[in-house]
């Protein structure tokens, strides 16, 4: 097997006195989609925040393409090629849709598939609303802006935190329909999902988290419903 | 009730106050930093222009052009070395640090230049005036209003039409998410303060050519500037111009009734407006 | 680390000892020292009040000079226009300052954070410019207390006879004792208030306004109460100060530098949000003033830099850092000083 594009090993993180991650290991192969599932408070978002340099890492390593990027501040992580679609989308309210997209390429202008034109082709609904304030759009369209904004830096790894949160099923399908083209552009993807069915459908590999630990890993076809249930909620029977 | 002349003079005075306030408004809007040393930094700029003029014998307008990059550098250093370390949820540390800075600058200038009144000599343009209809307008006051409008226009273009301005707005909205875009807030803040001090150098030019100055006049100018910013509304540069004009008009109208009421009338106008609109006339950004 | 909290009577005994020593100073010290210490005690009163306001109630005012000036002008008006005793004028000054704090509060309490600070400053400027229009008290150029006012002041006679000193010296000593008394009362009231239900509520608000509201503390009412009480204390102090100064002008009575800037530095250097902080700060201030008195404005530059350094490196001030490091607590309030904020806004 080749070197994974992103590898996280033994990652530990704290929020004050509270330990949120206990030695988490995750590997992402080039061109792959990895899904991380788990209930609220399982540590999924903390994992994302630790990788992107927003949360402090207490122990463990993060490597991008073999290069150690542990402890790099958030702007440096983006420059290295990891872009994030944050939970709750977090569009900039004072910026229009187009400006929100442009700011994604503010610091990292890597050559690649993604630019304003290709993002508008991916999400045509955004083109006609490009001069509206980002936050004036519907939830689904805001999610598209957030994805487009992250793509604008032509990242090697795209981290998506809770894409489907608060969206209608039809909108969720529409958003995940963009994944094949994103993969085709060469980006590898990590998605965090509470919606297990959606995660199993889109991912090549799934990790289940509970209380800051990975409790189950495997290819979607190899995981039974019961095993996932136990890993998600803890063994109850 | 008030003569046309009074209103025109108030408008022109408002231009000067808007110049004092523009840099403050930029910094306040982007990082919610209350820079209590802004007035003293303008006075420092005036002494810088004076010093450059004295040493090289150049006209203050030329000296101001040289002072501008120097003031930018000063702003950059001030922000990266000092102010970035105290920015946070609590407004007290930045307030106190800039207050301390204000005292240090004032007394540093006092030690270096004494308490004597100074003036920047701009030449014959100082006493020149133009007649528009029945109203006589000094060329310098007209130039300061025109400069204020140009500065605000320029800052607006920068803010709304450039990549840097986009980064300013994004950082002001949400500094954490801005970092996910590869933006370094500390550097954005340093850029903002640098630009604010360039504007302060321009303000200093008009401060020093229109009237006498000495090391102690900073805080009063700061207060007019803050009133203009707050009346205008947080984050609105045109609002700041409007705020400056409101203070200028109130002051000349007050002075028209009783010369001793000039400054008082400006402050009273500020209180009245805030009683009705606590967030100012044109609030853009959310506090 | 274990907190080595003193039993309650220990700090009390220490305070009584210090107060007694200070009270005896006029009996042995020269008049210049008494006058100097009077100024320092008044600064301490202002600092204790501002500390309550900014350190405990979270009201960062840069306009407390308003109440010094109002107190001073009321005292002058009482003496010159109504022929009252200056000490009655002082009491009246506190009351008028508190009364005028009501309209000021109506204005500034509508504003938050930085706007509040600027609002208080503007209010003080309005008071300064407004009183400059009062021609009976000299307008913008000010006026002096009539000759003999302090000589005839209530209590000067007995002090003069008892100590066998001149009238002028007796008046200085009396003012000194009053300032010392005001310090002790302010300290005592602050301590009692902060340990009371209301005071604990106030500290709860400072630490978490939402939670405090949830348990039934009304932040606005409590803060308004502190604002009014500190206006009273600050007004009293203003009256006392200007009996000794004997001459009043709007610029001197409403000086931002003298009555607010110095006070801020004293509190911050000593340790904001702690009761002993202002005391430590005032001692440092006095030492700096003595040390650098020959260098003119250098003294202010050093003071400013000191204040900046404290904000950068020891945000809890000298006392806060000391008690944090050693666990030592004088005047314990049963709470902790605020933690230092992070460098970048989240």
Give the DSSP per-residue string, C67-88: HHHHHHHHHHHHHHTT---HHH
Q: Say what the pLDDT of residue C335 is.
A: 44
Residue B251 to residue B271: CA distance in whole angstroms: 14
Q: Who among B173, B181, B285 is closest to A78 (CB)? A: B181
Check B287 against C311: CB less than 8 A apart: no
User: Between chains, do C114 and B104 touch, taking CB under 8 Å as contact?
Assistant: no
Q: What stretches of chain B adopt beta strand conformation (E)?
A: 129-132, 135-138
Both tokens assigned to B155: 């800052």
> Can you name the residues that pair with B130 across neighbouring β-strands?
B137
CB-CB under 8 Å, B275 with C341: no
Is C8 among the domain residues? no
Closest-CA distance of chain A to residue B34, Å: 21
Share of chain A above pLDDT 70, in %: 98
Task: State chain C's mean pLDDT as an integer.
Answer: 88
* B157 to chain A, closest Cα gap in Å: 14
What is the chain B residue with the closest CA to C340? Answer: B90
Please give the Cα distance from B282 to B107 (Å, whole number).
37
Tell how many helices (H) and how many strands (E) occur in chain B.
12, 2
Say which DSSP state B285 is in: S
ipTM: 0.93
pLDDT band at B32, cuts 50/70/90? confident
Q: Residue C50: what pLDDT?
A: 97
- Chain A to chain B, count of Cβ pairs less than 8 Å apart? 67
Residue C210 lies in a domain: yes
Q: Which is nearest to B271 in space by CA: C122, C98, C125? A: C122
Nearest-CB residue to A99 (from B166, B174, B183):
B166
For B59-82, what is the mean pLDDT?
97
Tell me, yes or no, whether C298 lies in a domain: no
Interface of B with A in 142-181 (CB under 8 A): 163, 166-167, 169-170, 172-174, 176-181
* C contact test, residue of B84, B92, B187 with most C CBs within 10 A: B92
The three-state secondary structure class of B130 is strand
| Distance in Å, alpha carbon of B115 to nearest chain A alpha carbon | 45
Q: Which residues of B touch A95 (CB under 8 A)?
A: 166, 169-170, 173
Chain A residues with beta carbon closer than 8 angstroms to that of B164:
none
Residue C2 lies in a domain: no
pLDDT band at C332 (very low <50, low <70, confident <90, very high): low
Q: Which of C123, C297, C341 sits opposite B90 (nearest CB)?
A: C341
In whole angstroms, give the CA distance from residue C132 to residue A109. 62
Examine residue C203 and state whether it is found in any structural domain, yes or no. Answer: yes
Alpha-carbon B265 to chain mean position:
20
Closest CA to C259 of C70, C52, C101, C129: C70
- The whole domain housing C94 covers 28-255
Chains that touch C (3 or more CB pairs under 8 A): B
* Of B30-34, C10-14, C234-238, C331-335, the least confident: C331-335
Pick from B163, B166, B173: which is nearest to A93 by CB? B173
Q: Give DSSP secondary structure letters for A24-81.
A: EEEEE-TT-EEEEEE-TTSSHHHHHHHHTTSSPEEEEEEEETTEE-TT--HHHHHHHT
pTM here is 0.90
Percent of chain C predicted with pLDDT > 70: 89
Q: Which residues pair with C326 in a beta bridge?
A: none
Q: Which of C111, C123, C304 sits opposite B101 (nearest CB)?
A: C304
Closest Cβ opposite residue A102 in set B166, B174, B182: B166
CB contact under 8 A, C111 and B287: no
Q: Which of B176, B181, B286 sits opposite A54 (nearest CB)?
A: B176
State how beta strands A82-85 and A157-161 pair: parallel
Question: Three-class SS of residue C151?
Answer: coil
> Residue A152 carries which DSSP code?
T
pLDDT reading at B150 higher than 50: yes
What is the Cα C289 distance to its own chain's centre?
A: 18
Residue C342: pLDDT band with limits 50, 70, 90: very low
Query: Taking CA atoms, what residue in C is nearest to B111?
Result: C297
Residue C155 belongs to a domain: yes
Please answer whether residues B191 and B33 qualify as being in contact, where contact means their C-beta atoms are separated by less than 8 angstroms.
no
The Cα of C114 is separated from the nearest Cα of chain B by a number of Å equal to 6
Q: Are C306 and C288 in contact (CB under 8 A)?
A: yes
pLDDT tens string A75-102: 999 999 999 999 999 999 999 999 999 9
- The two tokens of residue B221 are 């100018």
pLDDT band per the 50, 70, 90 thresholds, residue C9: low
Instruction: With beta carbons less than 8 A apart as the criterion, state whether A201 and A184 touch.
Output: no
- How many Å separate Cα C154 from the centre of its chain? 24
Confidence of residue C336 (pLDDT cuts 50, 70, 90): very low
Q: CB count, 10 Å around CB of A124? A: 9
pLDDT band at A25 (very low <50, low <70, confident <90, very high): very high
- Which residue of B169, B173, B182 is in closest CB contact with A107? B182
Please indicate, yes or no, if residue C86 is contained in any of the structural domains.
Answer: yes
Are the Cβ atoms of C60 and B267 closer than 8 angstroms?
A: no
Task: Report the residue of C105, C108, C125 to disrupt the B interface, i.e. the one with the largest count of B CBs within 10 Å.
Answer: C125
> Structurally, how many domains does chain C consist of?
1
Chain B segment 76-115 residues within 8 A of A by beta carbon are: none
- Looking at the DSSP bridge assignments, the partners of residue A36 are A192, A207
The mean pLDDT value for B8-24 works out to: 95
Host H or E run for residue C248: strand C247-248
pLDDT tier at B207, thresholds 50, 70, 90: very high
Q: Which of A140-144, A146-150, B126-130, B167-171 has the lowest mean pLDDT?
A: B126-130
pLDDT, tens digit, for every residue of C312-327?
998 889 998 888 777 7
DSSP three-state, residue A216: strand
Give CA–CA dist C69/A228, Å, rounded.
Answer: 73
C163 lies in some domain: yes
The answer to whether B181 contacts A104, with C-beta atoms less than 8 Å apart, is: yes
Which residue do the tokens 């949830």 mark? Answer: C214
Segment B107-129 shows an average pLDDT of 91
pLDDT band at B2 (very low <50, low <70, confident <90, very high): confident
Residue B179 and residue A54: Cβ atoms within 8 Å? yes
- Answer whether B275 touches A (CB < 8 Å): no
pLDDT digits (tens, 9 = 90+) for A118-173: 999 999 999 999 999 998 999 999 999 999 999 999 999 999 999 988 899 999 99
Are A85 and A147 a contacting pair, CB within 8 Å?
A: yes
**Pairwise CB contact (< 8 Å): C308 & B104:** yes
Q: Which residues of A touch B180 (CB under 8 A)?
A: 52, 54, 74, 78, 83-84, 86
């Amino acid at each position: 097997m080749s070197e994974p594009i992103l590898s996280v090993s033994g990652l530990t993180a704290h929020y004050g006195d509270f330990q949120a991650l206990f030695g988490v290991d995750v590997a992402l192969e080039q061109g792959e989609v990895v899904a991380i599932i788990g209930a609220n408070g399982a540590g999924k978002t903390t994992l994302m925040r630790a990788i992107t340099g927003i949360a402090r890492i207490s122990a463990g390593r993060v490597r991008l393409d073999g290069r150690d990027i542990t402890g790099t501040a958030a702007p440096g992580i983006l420059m290295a090629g990891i872009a994030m679609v944050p939970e709750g989308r977090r569009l900039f309210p004072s910026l229009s849709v187009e400006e929100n997209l442009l700011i994604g390429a503010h610091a990292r202008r890597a050559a690649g598939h993604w630019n304003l034109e290709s993002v508008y082709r991916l999400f045509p609904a955004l083109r006609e609303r490009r001069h509206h304030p980002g936050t004036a759009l519907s939830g689904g369209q805001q999610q598209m802006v957030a994805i487009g904004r992250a793509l604008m830096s032509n990242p090697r790894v795209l981290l998506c935190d809770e894409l489907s949160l608060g969206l209608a099923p039809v909108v969720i399908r529409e958003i995940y329909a963009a994944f094949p083209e994103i993969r085709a552009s060469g980006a590898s993807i990590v998605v965090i999902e509470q919606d297990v069915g959606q995660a199993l459908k889109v991912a090549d590999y799934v990790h289940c988290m509970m209380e800051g630990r990975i409790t189950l890993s495997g290819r979607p076809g190899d995981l039974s419903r019961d095993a996932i249930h136990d890993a998600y909620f803890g063994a109850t029977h | 009730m008030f003569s046309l002349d009074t209103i025109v003079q108030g408008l022109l005075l408002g231009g000067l106050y808007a110049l004092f306030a523009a840099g403050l408004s930029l910094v306040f809007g982007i990082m919610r930093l209350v820079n209590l040393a802004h007035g003293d930094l303008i006075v420092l700029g005036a002494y810088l222009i004076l010093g450059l003029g004295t040493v090289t014998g150049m006209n203050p307008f030329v000296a101001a052009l040289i002072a501008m990059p120097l003031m930018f550098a000063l702003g950059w250093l001030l922000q990266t070395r000092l102010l970035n370390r105290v920015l946070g949820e609590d407004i007290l540390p930045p307030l106190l640090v800039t207050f301390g800075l204000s005292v240090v600058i004032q007394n540093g200038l006092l030690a270096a230049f004494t308490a004597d009144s100074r003036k920047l000599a701009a030449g014959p343009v100082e006493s020149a005036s133009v007649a528009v209809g029945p109203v006589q307008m000094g060329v310098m006051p007209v130039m300061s209003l025109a400069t204020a409008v140009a500065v605000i226009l320029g800052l607006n273009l920068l803010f709304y039409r450039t990549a840097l301005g986009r980064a300013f707005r994004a950082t002001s909205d949400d500094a954490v998410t801005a970092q996910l875009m590869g933006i370094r807030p500390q550097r954005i803040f340093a850029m903002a303060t640098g630009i604010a001090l360039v504007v302060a150098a321009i303000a200093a030019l008009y401060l020093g050519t229109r009237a006498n100055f000495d090391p102690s006049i900073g805080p009063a100018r700061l207060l007019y500037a803050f009133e203009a910013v707050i009346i205008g509304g947080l984050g609105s540069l045109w609002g700041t111009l409007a705020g400056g004009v409101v203070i200028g008009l109130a002051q000349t109208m007050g002075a028209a009734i009783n010369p001793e009421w000039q400054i008082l009338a400006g402050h009273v106008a500020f209180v009245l407006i805030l009683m009705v609109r606590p967030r100012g006339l044109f609030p853009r950004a959310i506090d | 680390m274990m907190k080595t909290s003193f039993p309650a009577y220990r700090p009390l005994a220490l305070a009584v000892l210090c107060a007694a020593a200070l009270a005896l100073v006029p009996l042995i010290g020269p008049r210049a020292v008494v006058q100097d210490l009077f100024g320092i005690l008044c600064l301490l009163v202002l600092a204790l009040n501002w500390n309550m306001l900014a350190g405990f109630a979270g009201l960062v005012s840069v306009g407390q000079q308003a109440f010094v000036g109002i107190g001073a002008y009321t005292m002058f008006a009482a003496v010159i226009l109504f022929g009252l005793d200056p000490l009655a004028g002082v009491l009246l000054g506190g009351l008028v300052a508190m009364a005028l704090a009501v309209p000021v509060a109506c204005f500034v309490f509508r504003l938050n954070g930085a706007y509040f600070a600027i609002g208080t400053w503007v209010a003080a400027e309005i008071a300064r410019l407004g009183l400059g229009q009062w021609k009976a008290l000299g307008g913008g150029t000010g006026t002096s207390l009539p000759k003999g006012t302090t000589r005839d002041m209530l209590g000067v006679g007995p002090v003069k006879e008892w100590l066998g000193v001149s009238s002028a010296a007796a008046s200085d000593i009396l003012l000194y004792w009053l300032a010392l008394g005001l310090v002790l009362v302010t300290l005592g009231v602050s301590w009692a208030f902060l340990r009371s239900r209301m005071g604990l509520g106030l500290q709860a608000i400072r630490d978490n306004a939402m939670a405090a509201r949830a348990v039934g503390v009304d932040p606005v009412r409590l803060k308004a109460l502190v604002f009014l009480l500190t206006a009273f204390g600050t007004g009293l102090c203003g009256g006392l100060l200007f009996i000794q100064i004997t001459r009043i002008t709007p610029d001197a009575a409403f000086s931002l530098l003298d009555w607010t800037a110095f006070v801020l530095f004293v509190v911050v250097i000593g340790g904001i949000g702690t009761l002993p902080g202002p005391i430590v700060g005032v001692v440092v201030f006095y030492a700096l003033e003595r040390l650098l008195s020959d260098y003119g404005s250098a003294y202010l530059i050093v003071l400013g830099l000191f204040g900046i350094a404290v904000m950068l490196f020891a945000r809890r001030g000298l006392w806060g850092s000391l008690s944090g490091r050693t666990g030592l607590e004088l005047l314990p309030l049963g709470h902790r000083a605020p933690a230092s904020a992070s460098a970048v806004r989240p």
